[in-house]
């Protein structure tokens, strides 16, 4: 009877995904990074009302989930950029479908 266990595991993963995406700022941060890598200050400037503390917290969570990668660029001046991973880009594609829905219906 692996069918029921597989269904439960799928439900748990979907619920975890929804819970993570439902956190304030997660979706819009992914949206902001979907076109190109950005520095912390660029992300902060692109999202009104987002505090440095909250952005820092969310970026750490996105890194922990493997959605965002932090890249240190050693050119002068040294800078740090954030970009979506392959996993993050796949999520971004899914979120763009939602964004089209939201533009039409919200």
Would you put residue 87 in left (φ > 0), alpha (ψ -120 to 50) or beta? alpha
Alpha-carbon distance values, 103 to 16, 50, 85 (Å): 25, 22, 26
pLDDT at 4: 77
Q: 3-class secondary structure for 33-80?
A: HCCCCEEHHHHHHHCCCCCHHHHHHHHHHHHHCCCEEEEEECCCCCEE
End-to-end Cα separation, the chain, in angstroms: 42
CA 92 to chain centre: 8
Of the pLDDT bands very low, low, confident and very high (cuts 50, 70, 90), residue 5 is confident
Average pLDDT, integer, range 28-40: 96
Number of domains in the chain: 1
Phi, psi of 56 (to 5 degrees): -60, -45
Q: How confident is the model at residue 93 (pLDDT cuts 50, 70, 90)?
A: very high
* Percent of the chain at pLDDT exceeding 90: 87
- Residue 36's CATH number: 1.10.10.10
What pLDDT score was predicted for residue 46? 97
**Helices vs strands, H then E, count in the chain:** 5, 3
Can you give the pTM of this predicted structure? 0.86
Q: What is the pLDDT of residues 46-85, one digit of tens each?
A: 999 999 999 999 999 999 999 999 999 998 889 999 999 9
Supply the range of the domain harboring residue 14.
2-105
Q: With cut-offs at 50, 70 and 90, classify the pLDDT of residue 31.
A: very high
């Amino acid at each position: 009877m692996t069918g029921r266990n597989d269904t439960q595991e799928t439900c748990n993963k979907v619920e975890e995904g929804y819970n993570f995406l439902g956190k304030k700022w997660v979706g819009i941060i992914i949206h902001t990074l979907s076109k190109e890598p950005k520095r912390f200050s660029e992300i902060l400037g692109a999202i009104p009302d987002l505090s440095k503390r909250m952005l820092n917290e969310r970026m750490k969570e996105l890194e922990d989930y493997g959605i965002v990668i932090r890249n240190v660029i050693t050119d002068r001046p040294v800078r740090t950029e954030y970009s979506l991973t392959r996993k993050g880009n796949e999520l971004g594609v899914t979120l763009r479908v939602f964004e089209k829905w939201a533009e039409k219906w919200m």
